[in-house]
Chains A and B, each alone.
Chain A
Amino acid sequence: MRRNQVAVVGAAETTELGVIPTMSQIQLHADAALNAIADAGLKLSDIDGFATAVETPQQMCHYLGITPTWVDGTSVGGCSFMLHVRHAAAAIEAGLCKTVLITHAESGKSMIGKQPRSIPADSLQGQFEAPFGVYGPPSMFPIPVLRYMKTYGITHEQLAMVAVVQREWAARNPRAMMKDPITVDDVLNSRMIAYPFRLLQCCLVTDGGGALILTSADRAKDFPRKPVYILGTGESVETPMVSQMETFTSSRAFKVAGPLAFKEAGITHADVDHLMIYDAFAHLPLFGLGDLGFMPHEETGPFIAAGHTRPGGKLPLNTNGGGLSYMHSGMYGMYALQESVRQMRGIAPAQVPGAKISVCHGVGGMFAASGTIIFTNER
């Protein structure tokens, strides 16, 4: 894909985040969509391309009253929205549509109008993982961690620092769910969930949503907000079974998606001013820093423990507080994208001064899928 041909011209989250017992899941989608439409100064009738995950495009287009000429229902977990951005950019460039709306919402906490996730007994996961006691992401996502720690010499304290640093970012963000400072001891003394991970190393469970509007860069200059350009993109999938990953010391999906995006963007790691790495659990920023090529995996834990990703550090990471402290409705990728867009617009609560390039990296399932979007505010 060519650089900077497509831009984000509308971006918004649901009016509220957290616990929203007054809205069903599809209404949360609509709330985010209407906010994004208003942000872009558009009407819903201007939308001719639509993408969403979990809920179907037909469900949401009917509910919103949209008749699209291009749809994408890619649903590969929490990074689905990174893939939607990539696909939408290609579709806009190919002339399949002009103005794309991407929505996410999840009634993850209140569970209103939300289908429970289930694993069929005759699926491969149902036969070869479920009988051994996996029960929700906390019992599955951290399974690679002990191997990663042993291979690279990563410590429990370093993995605790991920949560500590992200709480420092969250403290600067009025919309973050958890803002009180925490220490490494707090993390290591919080309730055990799935050894080696404790409560403060696991994501929040909340309600909320977000929406993005994309159009061609040529049209973007006529919109009210400062355009945020798509500089590079990447995507891949590996396996729905965490036990069947090629290795536990790296994510193949990360290693494909991340470098693709960097190559397409034509940038080096030193060019990155701002970084989002989807943090459903505390090990994900380490996998991301390593697999995206910022540093060898051995250095990821020490890098975070040394404070390089905290406010004022040389590589600001997860500046909204992340899935650990900002919010996590179940598919957090949309919120990472929203924070990258805010940073590129220069309006983030914890703004990185002068940031020009933002890398936003998502995971879907338990390392099942990955998408990377690189944004810039300069064309």
Chain B
Amino acid sequence: MAEPMRARPKPTPETQHFWDGTKAGELRLQRCDSCAHVYFPPRPFCPSCASRKVSIFKASGKGTLYSYVINHRPAAPGFTPPYAIAVVALEEGPRMMSNITGCPQTPVALELDMPLEVTFEPLDAQITLPLFRPAKG
């Protein structure tokens, strides 16, 4: 799956914990200590109440399929079409873009609201991507 040509994320000081997490096999989100809002993408303050008191925690890695396209053309470098570009609704509330592995990339196999679980795909020695697969059981 992970091919060398795939666009490679470059972490910033505010997002480093997320990418350290995926490398360690954890999906890390942030929660506001003041208002309990859980949010993504990462930033060192709460976008709901502006508090700087926020904590990083390990998310369950469970979610559901919110929406997707199956991209045919043009295909991004490192991808073989057709491939699904999905948005996953995480159990904790935030949504994130990802790919769905371990299942055909077809409208029949990709049912909205199907349960998903995170899986980690190393891109290179530094970066591991969070992908999702149909949840077992």
Which residues of A are interface residues toward B (Cβ below 8 A)? 119-122, 124, 126-136, 138-140, 142-147, 150, 191-197, 241, 243-244, 248
Contact = CB atoms under 8 A, between A and B. Distances in A.
A143 B129 contact: no
B71 interface: yes
A134 B76 CA distance: 6
23 contacts: A121-B8, A121-B10, A127-B11, A128-B40, A131-B6, A131-B7, A133-B76, A134-B76, A135-B76, A139-B71, A139-B76, A143-B67, A144-B67, A146-B67, A146-B112, A193-B73, A194-B71, A195-B69, A195-B70, A195-B107, A243-B95, A244-B95, A248-B66
A135 B74 contact: yes
B129 A127 contact: no
Interface string B99-136: 10000000100001000000000010000010000000
5 tightest Cβ-Cβ pairs between the two chains A and B:
A135-B76, A127-B9, A195-B70, A147-B67, A130-B7
Chief secondary structure at chain B's binding surface: loop
Contacts of A197: 69
B18 to A, nearest CB: 8
A241 B68 CA distance: 14
A248 B86 CA distance: 13
Interface in B59-107: 66-79, 82-83, 85-87, 95-99, 107
Interface of B: 6-12, 15, 19, 40-41, 66-79, 82-83, 85-87, 95-99, 107, 112, 123, 129
A197 B67 CA distance: 14
B29 to A, nearest CB: 12
A147 B71 contact: no
A127 B129 CA distance: 10
B82 to A, nearest CB: 7
B75 A194 contact: no
B110 to A, nearest CB: 9
A132 B129 CA distance: 9
A131 B75 CA distance: 12
Given A194-B72, A244-B95, 4 more contacts: A126-B10, A131-B9, A132-B85, A133-B99
Given A127-B41, A194-B72, A243 B9 contact: no
B87 A121 contact: no
